[in-house]
Structure 1
Amino acid sequence: MATFRLSRRAALAGAGTLLAAPRLSLGQGTAPAVMPGTSARPQANWGAATGDVSADRALIWSRADRPARMLVEWATTEGFRDAKRLNGPHVTEATDFTGKLDLSGLPPDQEIFYRVRFQDLSDPRAASEPVVGRFRTVPVSRRDVKFLWSGDTVGQGWGIDESRGGMVTYESMRKTGADFFIHCGDTIYADSVIPAQIRYPDGTVSNQITTPEKSKVAETLAEFRGAHRYNLLDRNVRAFHSEVAQMWMWDDHEVTNNWSDSKDLSGNAAYREKHIGQLRANATRAFLDYAPLRINTDEPERVYRKVSYGPHLDLFMLDMRSYRGPNSPNRQEVAGPETDFLGAAQLRWLRDGLASSRATWKVIAADMPIGLQVPDGKDAGGRALFEAIANGHGPALGRELEIASLLSAIKANDVRNVVWLTADVHYTAAHHYHPDRAQFRDFKPFYEFVSGPLWAGGFGPNALDDTFGPEVVWQKAPGTNNAAPGEGTQFFGEVQIAGEDGAMTVLLKDLTGATLWQRRLVPEPV
């Protein structure tokens, strides 16, 4: 597999002009905000990222510290010979000074180098230092492909401690030289406060960077945006974004824990804003400002989408949050609004997309696992409530009815080589689902691989639900709640697809990049 990586020094400089960034006061545990007008020219200290790459297109994202004009150059050589220069959008307070430019007309399967500057609006001669990055466009031939997935960043109070290297999982992922990365959700924890100090199990104290926006739960648009900016204070994150194309999804913590449209915040003292609809609106706006995600022209706030990545791979990235019914005991016998998890429109899109796909592998990137029980407290009658799909052993009921209909359609349409990837539960595992072990049996066997968190508390393992016959092939979990990062509790997954025969190798890795488990899957002919 031909890959290119910027040097670590170049990546750090290009991913945020680190030397020009505001000094971090670790003694106070606070990162002062960059204020417009404090420099003679615009600053771009938050780096740049590439998203939703295709054979001839790629989205470039970056942020300035003030109103400015985004300028982008791209070339097929690191020296930027014959570079093409494009005028991007004006960035203003309307988008928190973030900008996106959708490059088109790119050559397929080509290493692309880019640099972003921000031009001062009052003096066109004054522009920011360039932020540089690279990515590779999607192949049209059968070449090797490597990609990563995980989820859950800056959760349960665990934040950035530069004396411990920051969020080092991102640096380990950068070193893989992957083509792209799927963030399966919880890109931020809007409901998680970052304290200036937090204690590790060995008794040592971690001095963490904090910001005003991360000193409380996010409620206003500014606070949600500040939660996204917080992650970009980490040099590992910026370097990773500059070298590995991103494909973002979202889950609950982009808004608040276990949210749906029916979420009741009336008894939550942390929130002055009690209307979940207002929180969702602010969170959505902030997510779309900061995610390197191409906006859907028909539905501007739609997150689920398909990305084709060469002849061997079609990716179906889901949204298991926006269309769900309320968390309940999840035992309904008949499907309806209360059993929705994907929702009718998304379910139909996924079923039809899988049936029409001619790629060797159909990878479904999901917010949450299928067969793991994820509880959400109890109702007034003492019955357990469920946050995910599973509801305990037995026949398909509640949200499982939607998944049962999808799995039956996959079998009826003879869709081959379907693999599920997910995160959410804060440990890593390989699950195999088979009708011979299941209560519901009208489906083809398949694998589901779980990996996370990237930088958050470790949890699990969760109990299995036998409805679809899952079996734990392998797993690693801390066995305690909110286990600290750096204690062997941070994980990501890697997928390698061989161009020659289409074989897929799945590797589950820890925060150092060490492979803990792997398996090679040979595809059925399509």
Structure 2
Amino acid sequence: MPNTLRIAPDKTLRSGISRRTFLTWTGVASALAFTPGLIEAPAAYPAPMNHGDHLFTLGVASGDPLPDAVVLWTRLASAPLAPHGGMTDIPIPVEWELALDSNFRRVFTRGIELATPADGHSVHVDVRGLEPSTDYFYRFRAAGHISDVGRTRTAPSASGTTGALTFAWASCQSWGDGFFNAYADMAAAAPDVVFHLGDYVYEKAIPTRGGQRNTTAVPQSAHSEMTRLDDYRERYALYKLDPHLQQAHRTSPFIVTMDDHEVENNWAANISEDEVPVPDFLYRRAAAFKAWWENTPVRAELRPNGADMRIYRRFTFGDIAQFSVLDTRQYRSDQVNGDTDGPQNELTARPDRTITGAGQERWLLDGLASSRTRWNVLAHQTTIADLARSKNGARAVSMDGWSGYEASRARILDGARERGVDNLVSIVGDIHRSVVSELKSTYTRPATTVGVELAGTSISSGGDGADSDESDKLLKAASPHVKFGNSQRGYVLNRLTHQDWQAEFRVTDSVADPGAGLRRRATVRIPDGRPDIEVS
């Protein structure tokens, strides 16, 4: 690590932090509330800053926490909605520092990284040598500008007993469909870590006047579908100006994967939704991957190699949870049956079809077999469970989810059962609704329940929604393995212990109003040792 100065951590500071209780804003979370520029909610949605006002307009973030390391991220943009973010072609040195207190009286380490135009003036600092289960604070400085302060947290050590883990996950945040209210609520909870499971940005043109946001403050490229690197960079800049999203990023470390809209709707491997020639689509995919890497707090080693990028990776949090973060886009077989909801048939059952690819499938099963944690979690994009509905009198399922890849699903779930994997939980996004299901290798004949799937709703995609819409009623009627459903916007907040998993589904009545709050819609409890679903 270049130009670093390390100071031994003051362990007395950690001992003075009280333990947080589930879904309350106490302990370190309440301390953060009084730190200027950290997680306080904005009074109103501000207009974008003018050229030269600040270099850190896109905020700060941290991510991919390990017991001894974390990534610190920022991206310089003096005029975020202008071409190239208002930046020149000159590399800029960026100073960073990490401390044990938000006032930076106990600096742990500091250094300098170079923000280059080739990487969109983004910075990914992989800070090593940290203490496990520890809160740290960080900030950046460049050309006389100082960023907001962020808080991050390392993962617990694998060698000890972890009493509890709090985490949230989110997905699907279409900027034009509404405001990102859920992130203010998430920041107030200050979870140990946040998973973003895809559709961080959307590729389609944003409606006139910003859709629900009723603003013309969008880059010119937002008026059409993004296909070039500059288009993708500008779309990320627009999204990252959202103050509630910035608030969540500077409060908790994020672990991020992608789904389809970061590139193009329902893409599959090298196949475009619009059936463009493969070389043209791979050129677009390379641009999308590069922009995703530049704008997410992932390690520099994830930098894409053209149109290829190793996104799937694994995170272990002490002895309490192992998360296998999947990539179900880059290696999948093409969707069958016209990629529309329909019946499963000989095409969906073909044994040579895969949603993960053979290499990732082996990696996943090997990781599950060697896990020594209480909970084994698949963190990914689309639902494993059949969310069946009756369509024209026939049972219909999505061809884009695991329902369209029946043999692939059976290999994973039967493989986990054969390896004696306990407490298997799948967490997903994508479907713009909350659905809790029993996890089975097939749903067209009797099968053992091997785990639980928790599908979380969207941050804003789909607009306000309702407590139960027509699709919710239809899937509950045709899918007896579904135990809870809701189609409002929000996210899922979780507390894991060795005794149980508690998932709180938090929803808002409106994403058209940036000040609308969230509330608990339901709490789902999964007891240790058996895949039961208790809803309250």
Equivalent-residue separation in structure 2 for 1:56 and 1:317 (angstroms):
19
SS in 1 for 2:255: strand
SS at match of 2:403: coil
1:206 CA drift (Å): 3.7
The residue type equivalent to 1:47 in the other structure is G
Cα distance change of structure 1 residues 4 and 167 upon mapping to structure 2, 3 Å threshold = same
Distance 1:415 1:385, change over 3 A: closer
Is the aligned partner of 1:181 residue 2:198? no
Paired with 1:513 and 1:7, the residues of 2 have a C-alpha distance of 20
Note the C-alpha offset of 1:514.
1.4
Question: What residue is the counterpart of 1:472 in the other structure?
Answer: 482
Gaps of 5+ in 1: 25-30, 121-126, 160-165, 200-204, 376-382, 392-398, 478-488
Cα distance change of structure 1 residues 408 and 372 upon mapping to structure 2, 3 Å threshold: closer
Aligned partner of 1:262 in structure 2 is 271
Say if 2:411 is the partner of 1:402: no
State the partner residue of 2:528.
Answer: 523
1:384 to 1:18, Cα distance in 2 relative to 1, 3 A: closer
Shift of 1:519: 2.3
Corresponding residue for 2:107? 83
Match of 1:158 in 2: 177
Seen in structure 2, the aligned counterparts of structure 1 residues 195 and 8 have a Cα distance that, compared at 3 Å, is farther
Alignment pair present for 1:233 and 2:232: no
> In the aligned structure 1, how far is the partner of 2:232 from the partner of 2:365?
34
Deviations 1:291-314 (A, max 9, x none): 111244798621111000111010
Distance 1:69 1:16, change over 3 A: farther
The 3-state SS of whatever aligns with 1:131 is coil
Contact 1:371-1:470 at 8 Å conserved across structures: no
Is 1:64 the counterpart of 2:73? The answer is: no
Q: What residue identity is the alignment partner of 2:139?
A: R
Tell me, yes or no, if structure 1 residue 425 matches structure 2 residue 425: no
Any residues of structure 2 matched to 1:132-281 within 5 Å, and which?
A: 132-140=149-157, 141-154=161-174, 157-159=176-178, 166-196=179-209, 198=211, 206-207=214-215, 209-260=217-268, 261-265=270-274, 275-281=280-286
For 1:97, the aligned partner's letter is: H
Report the CA distance between 1:442 and its aligned residue. 6.0
Q: What is the Cα deviation at residue 322 of structure 1?
A: 0.7
How far is the alpha carbon of 1:524 from its aligned partner? Answer: 2.0
Does the Cα contact within 8 Å between 1:404 and 1:440 map onto a contact in 2?
Answer: no
Partner of 2:504: 507
Instruction: Indicate yes or no: 2:130 matched with 1:106.
Output: yes
Preserved contact between residue 387 and residue 397 of structure 2 (Cα < 8 Å): no
Does the 8 Å CA contact 1:17/1:131 hold for their aligned counterparts? Answer: no
| Aligned partner of residue 525 in structure 2, secondary structure | strand
CA distances 1:198-223 after superposition (whole Å, capped 9, x unpaired) = 36xxxxx8446422232211111011
8 Å contact kept, 1:407–1:442: no
In structure 2, the partner of 1:490 is 489
Structure 2 vs 1, CA of residues 240 and 252 (structure 1 numbering), >3 Å: closer, same or farther?
same
- Amino acid corresponding to residue 471 of structure 1 in structure 2: H
**1:45 to 1:369, Cα distance in 2 relative to 1, 3 A:** same
Tell me how far apart the structure 2 counterparts of residues 168 and 465 of structure 1 sit (CA, whole Å): 28
Question: CA deviation digits over 1:42-78, x for unaligned, max 9?
Answer: 6211111010011110000001134311211111123
Residue in structure 2 matching 1:347, options 350, 361, 376 = 361
2:324 & 2:248 partners in 1: Cα distance? 23
Deviations 1:241-275 (A, max 9, x none): 000110111000001111122225258xxxx9992
Unaligned runs of 5+ in 2: 1-18, 21-26, 78-86, 338-343, 390-395, 509-516, 531-536
Separation of aligned partners in 1, 2:354 and 2:193:
30
User: Residues 464, 323 of structure 1: CA spacing in aligned structure 2 closer, same or farther, 3 A cutoff?
Assistant: farther
Q: Is the 8 A contact 1:510 1:516 kept in 2?
A: yes
% same residue: 22
- The TM-score with structure 2 as length reference comes to 0.78
- Secondary structure of the corresponding residue to residue 66 of structure 2: coil
What's 2:64 paired with? 52
CA contact (8 A) 1:373 1:388 kept: no
The code of the aligned residue for 1:64 comes to L
State how far apart, in whole Å, the 2-side matches of 1:347 and 1:466 are.
Answer: 32
For residues 419 and 510 of structure 1, what CA distance do their matches in structure 2 show? 21
Alignment correspondent of 1:315: 323
